[in-house]
Structures are given as structure tokens and as C-alpha cells.
A = this chain, B = another copy of it.
Amino acid sequence: MSNDCTFLDDLSVEVSYGDSDRESHAGDWGAETFDLAVTPDAVVWPTSTVEVSAVLASANEHGVPVTPYAAGTSLEGNAVPAHRGISMNLTRMDAILDVRPDDFQIDVEPGVMGSAIDSALETHDLFFPPMPASADLSTIGGMIANDASGMKTVKYGEVGDWVLKLEAVLADGSVITAGSTASKTSSGYNLCDLLVGSEGTLAVITRATLEVAGRPERIHGGRAIFPTLAGATEAVFDTVQSGIDVATIELIDRESAEMANAYLDTGLPNAPMVFVAFHDPVEREIETCRSIFEAHEAKQCEISSDESRMDELWTARKELAFAVQVYDPDRRPLHPGDITVPISKYPEIIRYAKALSAEHDLLVPCFGHAGDGNVHYSVLVDPDDPTMRERGELLYRRVVEKAIDLGGTATGEHGIGMGKREYMIHEHGESSIEAMRQIKRALDPRDTLNPGKIFPETADGERVQADSTDSPATQ
């Protein structure tokens, strides 16, 4: 049912009710795959915290949902306005507000692209270590809201580990700050880390202070090709276990290699590959890595300090996401999300996914930030074949459930959104979900902010956290 959003006309914020604007805010990358897009009733483009606050206060009063939106690159339907209402596009709040090299800090607005942050820092010889590979496609607001991570997370941690302070607007329009520009604080509840990864369900982030680091002076990187997937996954585990200071360690399986090789015409063998990078390494570390790889019979193990050669060596990994998309015109990747397990379980979860792939006769390319125990996997299905699609869905689910049973998580970096809600109780237990719900109800009693996300779906699919004693006026 559509919501009456005409109260927006009384606010000094740009608003559109046009079909084209609304439709372009209906989905994200994940929603496109899932066919989960939902068209909002209106789109607003605030340009300041004051405007964000005014929209939220009014929407909350009118019982109209508000879903934050920026680049639309999330994978689990996180930015889909599942209960319609207002899509709040934050891309006009895209200023770099302040760079403080002396404190290794930068202040940004939520709509700024990752690549713009990198450019602003590069002039000071600084960088934002957890930056995802999608830096030129996604915004810092989205990265924070999903607690994203990237290729360098094995060394530097997640986005959330580098967020010092946030300004954010709660559902009722009140503006809070969370965290501190001090490098550490024990002052009060850690609202900052509570908002990180809350996917716009608790607040709209309007400003962030990020910690940054000195750019590495020397980067060495390369890749090795392994005869077996077991050898490749064990090489990853042994490398992490050795404690050497690897900045990146990524794996792609044979199927992924085949897709990348076909897409890029590399002439490389279709075999599992592991990619590594070191920041300001000592020679001993690179040698340790090399000998671990060789113990697992790696071939063509090359680690270079030459930038263009590194780019060449890395191409298969860098272009993989696109290679998977275009590999077979009759197949579509189902669910492009991720799972993460403790590193000792990494070989096992990969083995498990491959066994299911064989059992169900479905192509399941696996790749990802291996050093984190992180696996991205897709199940390629014919979208017009409901039986195959069903088999694919089952396979996909079994891998997520196995990851949780191995002490892992349903998502290491893309969030729950709509796509992973069904795993929440399995992963966290009823009591923990209830505690999360209590927090949601406390900060957003009318379920104004991004309803229909994170929490397990209710039987009737209605907004789940709405306070029954104070239900929204329009539904």
C-alpha cells in the first residue's frame, strides 16, 4: 500500500514523486538478482543534517518509512524500500569536510565515494586501510552501514574498526554524536559501533570521522597457481597461521579461474589461484609465504614489487565479479553475498560448498578474502528453470547454515538486508535477536527507519518492530 508523502512538500528538501526517480531507487545490486525491488512512494535528496532531521521527524510523525540510499551497490537488498515510503538519497551529502593528517583523521559526509576519500588522503600520503575493492562504486555511508571490509582486512580490520566518531539522526529527527575523536574512549555506551553495521535501521549517518594510516611506502604483490583446491585453501590457512604480516590474501577456485580466464583471455591454466600483497614487507616474510605456497605445490608463484606487473598478476581476481556475471548468458548468479568462518574452518567450508556443487550438479564459483575466512560464492542457475532455481536456493542455504555451524557468520561484510534474515536466529539465538529488537524498538519505536531488514520476517510480512501501543498512522 502506498504512503501519502505530501508532507514532504512543506519541507525545504528536494523531493520527487516521478516514476523514473522512484524506480531508480527501488533496488540495489542484490535486489536486482533477487527480484526483490520495491518502488518507493517518494525520493528525497537532503543536503544537510538539518534536512535529514526534518524529513525523519515528519516521516516518523506520519508513520511513513524512510530507507537510506546512496550508490545502491549493496548485495542483500539492504537499500530496498521494502515497505515503500521514502527513499532518502544521500549522494548530495558528499563533501570531504576536513583532513587532519596530524591526528590521522578525516571527516566526511556519508555520500562521498570511497575513491574520493582515497584521493583526498593520497595528497597527504595517507590511506583508509579497510577500503573495499568497490571504492569507486560505493559510498562511505554504505560501507559504514554494512560494516564493509575488503582485500586488506586480513591485516587492517573492517571499516568499523576505523570509524572513530559518527553524527547521526535518529528516527524522531534528533541528532546524536557517537564515539570520540580521541584514539580511544571508555566514556559511556559504544553507540558508534552499534550504528556501524545497523544498515540504516537505527539512524541515518550524516557525518563520519575516520581514522586513517600512513600509506605504505612499498607494496609487493603477486599470485600462485595451485594444482588442487585443497592445496590452495591449506596454503591460505598456513600463511595466516604463520603470523607473517600479509596485507591481502585472496583465493579463487578453478571455476572462478575459468570464468576469469575466458573473460580476460589470459592463457593461464584453469586452476585455483591465491593472490597476495605485502605492505612495507621484510624479505623474510615474502620468502616464508613463498615456501608455504611451494609446500602445497604452487606453480607460477610470482611476487613482484613492480606496480604494473602486480596489476597484471592480479587481473583475474580484480575482474572476477564481472567475469562471473557474463560467463554463461543462460545462467544467472543466485545471491552474490558472502559468509565467513574461523580461518581453521576455511578449507572445510570450501570443501563443503564444492561437494554440494557436485551433488546438485550446479556451478558454484567460490572466491573471496580468504585470509579472513571469507567466502563469496554464487550458484549459477537458469532463471527460467524453477526446479534448478530451487535446487540452487537449497544449496546456497546449506552453505550459509554450515558456515554458522562451524562458528562462522551468515555475512562477513555485506550485511543481512532482506537476503539473510532467515539465518538470524540460527546464528544468534532467540534471546540475542530479542535484545536487538529491544534496541530497535527503543530507538525507533514506530519502525520508521528501513523496516523489513535484519530481523526475521514475520508470518504476514508486515513491519515487525512497530510499537503496538503506538502504531503508525498509515500502513
Contact = CB atoms under 8 A, between A and B. Distances in A.
Contact of A436 (B188, B196, B198): B188
A137 interface: no
Nearest to A193: B193
Q: How many copies of this chain? A: 2
Contacts of A415: 186-187
B443 A187 contact: no
A188 B344 contact: no
Interface stretch (A37-45, A315-323, A387-395, A421-429): A421-429
Interface stretch (A258-266, A299-307, A405-413): A405-413
B102 A188 contact: no
28 contacts: A100-B342, A100-B344, A102-B344, A147-B184, A176-B435, A177-B432, A178-B432, A180-B407, A180-B409, A182-B340, A182-B373, A182-B408, A185-B409, A186-B412, A186-B415, A187-B409, A187-B410, A187-B427, A188-B432, A188-B433, A188-B436, A189-B202, A189-B436, A189-B440, A190-B194, A214-B243, A438-B442, A439-B442
A157 B176 CA distance: 25
A16 B44 CA distance: 61
Nearest to A414: B186
Contacts of A178: 432
Contacts of A414: 186
A1 interface: no
Contact of A184 (B149, B202, B214, B420): B149
Contact of A188 (B180, B373, B407, B428): B428
A20 interface: no
Interface in A349-408: 372-374, 407-408
A342 B103 contact: yes
A442 B437 CA distance: 9
B409 A340 contact: no
Contacts of A439: 189, 194, 439, 442-443
A433 B428 CA distance: 28
Contacts of A189: 194, 197-198, 202, 436, 439-440, 454
Of A186, A194, A435, chain B has the most CB atoms within 10 Å of the CB of A186
Given A187-B416, A282-B282, A176 B102 contact: no
Nearest to A438: B442
A51 interface: no
